[in-house]
Amino acid sequence: MLPAKDHLSICFAHVAYQLRRRFEERRTGIASFEVRDWAGLERRIGEADVLVISGLWRDALLPLAGRLRYVQSIGAGTDQFPRQGLADRGIRLASAQGVNANAVAEHAMALLLALTRRLPEARDNQARQVWRGMIGEPAEREAELAGKTLLIVGLGRIGGRLARLARAFEMRVVGLRADPAKGAQGAEAVHGLDALPGLLAEADCLALACPLTPATEKLIDAAALARLKPGALVINVARGRVVDEPALIASLRSGRLAGAALDVTATEPLPADSPLWRMANVLITPHTAGETRAYEDNVLDILQQNLARLWRGETALLNQVV
């Protein structure tokens, strides 16, 4: 059970987001504090009944968190949290699923357009004050999206929104999801994940918007990349470990893949020695697809709804994980 409102303490743990400031502006009367790094979190976690966190989480916090009863993830993904360990201690966990679905889908569409229209090359040329001339070889020019096939792995809120955006560009959209019975969202057709090998050869672009689970870890491996249509593009706004990164690098180097746009990587931040940094056919954004000016308030809305549910003695949380 959560302590009463006047005895509750919330810890907001994030390196940059202004969660506590936005929470204080709501004048809830609930005590809170903020930490910006692991050392501060380790030192003060024992004071928290509620923890609002994502990237700063470490499993070593569990034995230090004697008061903790509820964890609100700041992100949609919760693969970093030890679900059984939380459950064993009676600690509830909810995700922030849905708060940035539009932003991530729009980011994925922007990445696809950027690669198709060769915007990174244009920006590089601008920095060098190079006015590129006309290109005689058609295969080396910019491409168009209309009529191309987009294969989306993960047709949840993000994938569904991306499907609808892509349809507006007159793309053919095929989707994959763990449970096809949940619907095609905006895609023209939906299949289970087991249909992936047979559909890859149709894809001009493969977009990843699925959660990281045992079934999706390294789902896009060397064999999957080899099945993609030659010259295809890969967009990843899911999790880095959905892709076998060395296999992706090899496929990009060989020229079989025309390009990749990655908002997520297997290790974050991306190590300085990663070849991905130096590849002209790769566009990298630093896990910022979900960032939006409304992000803090969207997360706090979920937090306050779940606090109210817990105080009422309800067992089901909004975006419940544990």
Cis peptide before 269 (omega within 30 of 0): yes
Contact 322, 93 (CB under 8 A): yes
Catalytic site includes residue 191: no
DSSP state of 220: B
Name residues whose C-beta falls within 8 Å of residue 291's C-beta, 6 or more positions apart in sequence: 100, 103
What residue has token string 């024992």?
A: 46
Could you tell me which of 20, 44, 41 has the C-alpha nearest to residue 31?
A: 20
- Options 239, 245, 296, 309, the catalytic residue: 239
Could you tell me which of 177, 224, 260, 216 has the C-alpha nearest to residue 77?
A: 216
Contact 179, 215 (CB under 8 A): no
The arrangement of strands across the sheet holding 9-13 comes to: 31-35, 9-13, 50-53, 70-73, 92-94
Q: Which two tokens stand for residue 13?
A: 């743990």
Catalytic site includes residue 144: no
- Options 25, 142, 268, 314, the catalytic residue: 268
- Options 69, 157, 287, 309, the catalytic residue: 287
Catalytic site includes residue 268: yes
What positions carry a catalytic annotation?
Answer: 239, 268, 287
